[in-house]
C-alpha cells in the first residue's frame, strides 16, 4: 500500500495551536501566555479544570463515482461515520443519478454537492482536498480513473483529487471489458506510480446477467484498508510506516479441503477460512502482493488479492508448491485433510437392505507445510504453519505444537486450542505463536485481523 506524501491537516489548521507561544509580527516568539492567570471576571484560569477535548478524528473525503455500485457506498459511509470520522461526501453528477444528494447528506451530516460553484465563498474546490486526512473514491469508474490519471478537473471531486495532499484510495468497479481495456490498465498504472492505492475490482455478478471481474470490493474490505492507510499516515508523520510489506509477495492458504467419497459426499472439516482471509487482507493493506489459495470458502474475495480456488488437498498441494518459488513468505492457514479415500465411487453410495456398512480405505495426503519448509526455493523465505490442537491425556496443546514445529521445519507455528469447537467459524481467535528458537508468544482473544497483524509483524521482523 502506497500513500501520497504530505502531512495530514484539517480545515482549521491555518490557526496557530493555542498551546504554542504567541508569535510576534517579526516572527520571533513572544512570551507564552501564563498559566493560572486571572480571567476577565477575576477567576483564576486553572489548567486542571479546563475542559479536555478528545483528539480530533481524521477527516475523510468520500468521493462517489457514477456506477451502479454507488448504493453500496452508503454502507461504507455508515462504517466511517460510526468509527468517529468526519466524512464529507463528494459525488459526481453521474453518481447522483444512482443515489441522491439527500441520502448522502443525511448519512454524513454534511452538505453535499457535485458542483464546484456551490458555496463559492468557502472555496470548496481547494479547501475540501487540503483539509482531508484521507480521500476514498468508490466506486472508481473507468471515466473517473482516466480523469484522475490525466489531471482533469471539471467537477468538485476531480478538483478535490488535485488539491489533496493525503493518502488516496480508489476502489475500482466497472464491467470486465472496461477494466481489462489497455487504456484503463495504463491509467491505473499511472495512479499507482504516483503512490495512489487502487484496489482491483472483485469477481462476481455485474449489472445485468454478466459475471466477471468488475464488482466493487465489499464495503467492509474498503473500510478496513482505509483504516490501515490512516494508521500508516500517522505512522509516517512519526517517521515510521505500517506499509512494511511493500515489495513482498506472500502466499496464503485458507479454508478446509474436501476429499470426495462419491459425487455427493466428502471428508472435510469445520474451517471457515476467516483467519486465512484476514491474513490476506491485512498483508495487502500493508503493501504486499498477495496470492490467496482458498479451499471451499464462500467468503468474498479480499480487495486487492489474487484468489485461487481449490477443492482437495492435492489441489492445494499443487497450487502452493507451484507458486512457492515466487513467494517471500508462505502462510499455511488452511486446514488440509491428512487422508483421502483410496477410491472415489463414480455413483452415490447406496444403503443396502442388509444394513452392511461400506468400508472406506484411506491413504495419506502429501504434507504441504513440511514440503515447502524443507524444499525452500528462495533465500530469506519465511514459512508459517498453523496447528489446530485439542491436547490429550499425555500431552498439552503446546506440547503437541512444539512437536509439530520441529517435525514440519517451519519458522513460525500458530497454535490454536480447538477443544470444544473453539475458533472454527468464530470472528475471534486466540493463539500462541511458537518460533524455531523455542519462544512462545501468547496472543489473547481478539479479532482475526488483530492476530493476522501480529503474525505479519513477526514475519516482517525476520526480514528486517
Residues with a known catalytic role: 269
What is the number of alpha carbons within 13 Å of residue 414 lying toward its C-beta? 27
Measured CA to CA, the distance from residue 197 to residue 168 in angstroms comes to 6
Can you say whether the dihedral through the CA atoms of 254, 259, 260, 261 is positive or negative? negative
Q: Going by DSSP bridges, is the β-strand pair 266-267/86-91 parallel, antiparallel, or unpaired?
A: unpaired
**Residue 369 marked as a ligand binder:** yes
Rounded Cα distance, 27 and 24, in Å: 5
Give Cα 151 distance to the centre of its chain: 28
| Rounded CA separation 395/413 (Å) | 17
Between CA 420 and CA 413 the distance in angstroms is 21
348 carries a ligand binding annotation:
yes
Residue 222 annotated as part of some ligand binding site: no
- 435 annotated binding-site participant: no
Is 350 annotated as contributing to ligand binding?
no
Tell whether residue 404 is among the known ligand binding residues: yes
Which position has the grid cell 492445494? 316
223 belongs to an annotated ligand binding site: no
What is the 3 state secondary structure string of 313-348?
HHHHHHHHHHHHHHCCEEEECCECCCEEECCCCCCC
Annotated binding residues for CTP, written as ranges, equal 338, 348, 366-369, 386, 404, 408
Feature table: binding site: 338, 348, 366-369, 386, 404, 408
Amino acid at each position: 500500500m502506497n500513500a501520497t506524501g504530505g502531512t495530514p491537516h484539517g480545515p482549521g489548521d491555518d490557526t496557530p495551536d493555542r498551546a504554542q507561544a504567541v508569535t510576534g509580527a517579526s516572527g520571533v516568539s513572544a512570551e507564552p501566555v501564563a498559566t493560572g492567570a486571572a480571567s476577565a471576571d477575576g477567576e483564576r484560569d486553572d489548567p486542571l479544570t479546563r475542559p479536555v477535548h478528545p483528539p480530533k478524528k481524521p477527516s475523510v473525503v468520500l468521493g462517489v463515482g457514477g456506477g451502479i455500485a454507488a448504493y453500496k457506498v452508503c454502507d461504507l459511509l455508515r462504517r466511517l461515520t460510526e468509527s468517529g470520522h468526519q466524512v464529507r461526501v463528494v459525488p459526481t453528477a453521474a453518481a447522483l443519478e444512482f443515489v441522491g444528494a439527500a441520502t448522502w447528506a443525511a448519512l454524513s451530516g454534511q452538505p453535499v454537492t457535485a458542483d464546484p460553484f456551490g458555496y463559492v465563498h468557502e472555496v470548496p474546490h481547494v479547501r475540501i482536498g487540503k483539509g482531508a486526512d484521507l480521500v476514498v473514491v468508490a466506486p472508481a469508474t473507468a471515466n473517473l480513473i482516466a480523469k484522475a490519471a490525466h489531471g482533469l478537473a471539471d467537477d468538485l471531486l476531480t478538483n478535490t483529487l488535485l488539491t489533496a495532499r493525503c493518502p488516496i484510495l480508489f476502489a475500482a468497479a466497472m464491467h470486465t471489458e472496461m477494466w481489462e481495456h489497455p487504456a484503463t490498465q495504463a491509467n491505473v498504472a499511472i495512479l499507482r506510480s504516483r503512490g495512489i492505492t487502487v484496489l482491483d475490482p472483485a469477481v462476481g455478478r455485474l449489472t445485468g446477467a454478466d459475471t466477471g471481474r468488475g464488482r466493487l470490493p465489499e464495503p467492509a474490505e474498503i473500510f478496513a484498508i482505509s483504516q490501515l492507510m490512516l494508521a500508516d499516515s500517522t505512522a509516517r508523520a512519526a517517521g515510521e510506516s505500517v506499509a512494511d510489506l511493500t515489495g513482498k509477495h506472500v502466499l496464503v492458504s485458507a479454508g478446509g479441503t474436501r476429499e470426495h467419497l462419491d459425487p455427493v459426499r466428502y471428508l472435510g472439516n469445520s474451517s471457515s477460512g476467516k483467519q486465512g482471509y484476514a491474513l490476506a487482507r491485512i498483508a495487502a493493506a500493508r503493501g504486499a502482493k498477495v496470492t490467496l489459495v482458498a479451499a471451499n470458502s464462500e467468503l468474498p474475495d479480499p480487495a486487492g488479492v489474487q484468489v485461487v480456488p481449490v477443492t482437495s488437498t492435492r489441489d492445494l498441494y499443487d497450487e502452493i508448491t507451484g507458486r512457492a518459488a515466487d513467494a517471500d513468505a508462505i502462510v499455511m492457514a488452511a486446514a488440509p485433510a491428512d487422508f483421502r479415500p483410496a477410491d472415489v465411487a463414480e455413483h452415490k453410495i447406496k444403503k443396502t437392505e442388509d444394513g452392511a456398512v461400506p468400508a472406506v480405505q484411506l491413504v495419506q495426503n502429501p504434507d504441504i507445510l513440511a514440503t515447502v519448509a524443507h524444499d525452500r526455493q528462495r533465500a530469506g523465505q519465511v514459512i508459517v504453519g498453523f496447528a489446530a490442537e485439542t491436547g490429550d491425556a499425555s500431552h498439552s496443546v503446546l506440547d503437541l505444537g512444539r512437536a509439530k514445529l520441529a517435525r514440519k521445519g517451519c519458522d513460525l507455528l500458530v497454535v490454536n486450542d480447538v477443544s470444544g469447537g473453539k475458533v472454527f467459524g468464530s470472528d475471534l481467535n486466540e493463539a500462541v505463536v511458537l518460533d524455531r528458537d523455542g519462544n512462545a508468544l501468547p496472543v489473547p482473544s481478539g479479532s482475526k485481523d488483530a492476530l493476522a497483524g501480529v503474525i505479519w509483524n513477526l514475519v516482517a521482523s525476520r526480514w528486517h
